[in-house]
Amino acid sequence: KDREWLHTKIARALAELDSEIRPEHETLGFYLEKNPENGILKYAKASALESTGDTSGAYTLFEEIADSPEQYLHIKANACFRMARSAPLGKRQELLKKCINLNPSHQGAQAMLSEVKESSNLTRNPAMDTNEKSAASQLTRPENPAVSVIVPNWNGMRFVGMCLDSLAKLHFKNFEVIVVDNGSMDGSREMIEEKYPWVRLLKNPHNMGFAIACNQGIKASNAEYLVLLNNDIEVTPDWLTELYEGMERHPECGMGTTKMMFLDNRDVFYNTGDLFHSWSSGGGRGQGEKDNGQYDEEDYVFGACAGAGIYRKELFDQIGLFDEDFFIFAEDVDLNMRSQLKGYKAVYLPKSKVYHIGTATVGLYSDRYVYLCKRNDIWVFIKNYSLKMYFKYLYSIWKHQFTDIKYFTYRGQGQVLLKSKWDALKLLPKMLFRRFKIQRARTMSDLEIEKHIITD
């Protein structure tokens, strides 16, 4: 039980590092001096040191908390893999080989190394300049792009380079990339300016949230199509071609979604289109399933995951932008529901594929994640459910509210959950006003909307 508790705390610490309240490694070091045997702080500081490039300091701490030499090698291999994802091509290959030497069964490293070698064989030109500039630095911005790819970034030094490098290899050429930086302090903003001159970089003074960053990118674009892309995603060369051509085939659709796989487990689904549950929560279709061809057909879905979705500019003109009060999490669920209410469909385009670093479980241990998700879920049904739908799904809504209370109280996060509900109600007048406008403008009946709702 003690080990289970420790691993839970470690997961929560890592989630905080990757969430909106990342502490600096100096701050962690201060607390570690007061608690020198605290494994949670050692793990958190090691991860923070690794993200700054201090690998020797990180490995020393990783070694201290490992239960065995084998576990240490496993931890070190994963650290090499994480660094490889954001490293330049030459360094990436070196780190991947090191990862495989440490852990020969690391599937993610093996798959990425194969792709790196294949890419090198296909693209290497002996006449390349002596500075070995990457393909990314050679791109130019088109004057009238058909597509704008919007990438919100906040302290993404570890992976945004991987994302932008993969965008540089796209076969589709008539696109621009808009990175909206949310006050990054890890050097990623400066790195983007230096290495990716073709990127339009919008700078915020501090972290204003995912929803605001997306809206800023949308407003800055004049393209017909807008793509929202997480900064920890690697796209495949045909990804944007398939999204663009798919939307051209489906004028009835306001958005399209991609086949999203886990980067570390490339044959396991992360998302094949968003779902919607009757208790007012979104979800990723197929998440955690092994790819056996079950999602190879193009079909309609409830909505797109904003981590890698394509949208018509017209859609935002009709239904409005992301709700900025959400900050992050469920803002795409809210947008999907508003899109459905207005009569727009969403299409899943399986030939467009990306690989996502994020896991499906780590965030569940973060207080920040619990607070934002549970608060925002309440706003989703307040804004988008008709009174008839609310009463129809009343049992499902309240059943899951009580389930949440029991579960998160057991996990020691009862106060976090309570605060999320209270803060949701504090903005009730504002949300009711938005609900009035949404319901007045809707064109679809409850019967049509309920076709997409999973009752549980």
Residues with Cβ within 8 Å of residue 115, at least 6 apart in sequence: none
Q: How confident is the model at residue 40, as a pLDDT?
A: 56
> Which of 103-117, 140-154, 263-277, 417-431 has the weakest average pLDDT?
103-117
pTM attached to this predicted model:
0.73
Q: What is the spatial distance between Cα 137 and Cα 199, in angstroms, rounded to a whole number?
A: 10
Is residue 299 within 8 Å of 348, Cβ to Cβ?
yes
**pLDDT class for 405, splitting at 50, 70, 90?**
very high
Query: What are the extents of the domains in the chain?
Result: 2-122, 135-360, 363-454
Helix (H, G, I), strand (E, B) or coil at 148: strand
For the chain, give the longest Cα–Cα distance.
69
Q: Domain 2-122, what fold?
A: 1.25.40
What is the residue-averaged pLDDT of the chain?
83
Q: Where are the alpha helices (DSSP H) in 124-222?
A: 160-168, 188-195, 210-220
pLDDT in tens, 16-39: 544 444 444 555 555 556 566 666
pLDDT in tens, 234-264: 999 999 999 999 999 999 999 999 999 998 8
pLDDT in tens, 196-210: 999 999 999 998 999
Q: How confident is the model at residue 132, as a pLDDT?
A: 35
CATH class of 135-360: alpha beta
Is residue 409 within 8 Å of 417, Cβ to Cβ?
yes
Q: How confident is the model at residue 72, as a pLDDT?
A: 63
